[in-house]
Structure 1
Amino acid sequence: MWKLLLLFLFTVVPAVELFLLLQLGSLLGPMQTFLIVLGTGILGAWLAKREGFAVLRQLQADLAKGLPPAVRVVEGALVLVGGLLLVTPGVLSDLTGILLLLPPVRRSIAPRIVARYGG
C-alpha cells in the first residue's frame, strides 16, 4: 500500500503538476505563470506564518483550560504542510496548500485525523 502511494506521489503528481503548469503557461504566457508561481510562494510563506501563530495561540489557550492538545497539534501540522505546498511550484500543490491554510478546512480535517490515528 505504502509503495503504491509513494510511487503515485513521486511520479503521477509531479507529471500532473508539470502538465498543469504548461497548460497555464500556454493560456496566460510564461511571465504571468512565473509571477503566479512566485506570488503563491510568497503568499504561502506569509499565510503559513500567520496561521501558524494563530494555531499556536489556540494551542496555548487550550492547554491553559486543560483541554487535550491533539487537535491543535494536528492543525499546526496541517498549517506546516499547507505552507510547504504553497512554496512548492505547482497548481495542485498550491490549491491544496491554500485549502489547508483555511481555518474552516483545518477545523474539519484535524478532528478526523485525530479520531482515526488517536490522540
Structure 2
Amino acid sequence: MFGKLFLLFVLVPVAEIYLLVTVGSSIGAFPTVALVILTALAGAHLARMQGLSTMMRIRENLDQGFMPAEELLDGVLIFLAGMVLLTPGFLTDIAGLLILLPVTRNLFKQWLRKKFDEWRQNPNVHITFHQ
C-alpha cells in the first residue's frame, strides 16, 4: 500500500514536473501552459457531456425499475477522469482521457469488477446492502 501511495504522491508529480519542463524548454513556457489549460478545459467539457449522458441513462434505468450498476460505475469513472483532467500535467491528462474513452473505460470497469469480487471474497471484508 505504501508503494502505491508513494507512486501516486511522489513519483507521478516528479514525472509531471519533468515533462512540463522538457516540453516547456522545447516549445516555450507560454505554449506549454496554454496546452495544459486547453487540455483541462477540453477534458472537463468532455467529462461533463459524458456525465450528463450517464445521468440520463441512470434515470431511464431507475424509471424502468432496473438497477443501473453499469451506469453508476461509468459515472464514478467519469467523475474520476474529470478530477484527473483538472490536475495540471500531461500524464494526468492522458490518464483522464483514457478513462473517458468508452473502449478503455470498459477495461477499467473490468478491472474494478475483478477487484470488487476479490474484496467481496476476502473473509476480512464485510459488505452489506440495505434496502
TM-score range, shorter chain: 0.7 to 0.9
CA RMSD after TM alignment: 1.8
Q: TM-score, normalised by structure 2?
A: 0.80
Give the distance between the partners of 1:67 and 1:107, measured in 2 at CA. Answer: 20
Looking at structure 1, the residues matched to 53 and 113 of structure 2 have their Cα atoms a distance apart, in angstroms, of 19
Aligned match of 1:74: 73
Q: Figure out how many residues of one structure are paired with residues of the other and give that number.
A: 118
Whole-Å Cα distance in 1 between the matches of residues 10 and 79 of structure 2?
A: 23
- Is 1:13 the equivalent of 2:24? no
Greater RCO, CA 8 A, separation 6+: 1
1:33 aligns with 2:28: no
Residue 98 (structure 1) shift: 0.9
1:3-50 Cα offsets, whole Å, 9 max, x none, are 221111111110001101111111111111010011011112211110
* C-alpha contact (below 8 Å) 1:100/1:106 kept by paired residues: yes
Q: Which has the larger radius of gyration?
A: 2
Q: Percent identity?
A: 32
CA distance in 2, matches of 1:64, 1:95: 35
**Corresponding residue for residue 45 of structure 1:** 44
- Greater share of residues in helix: 1
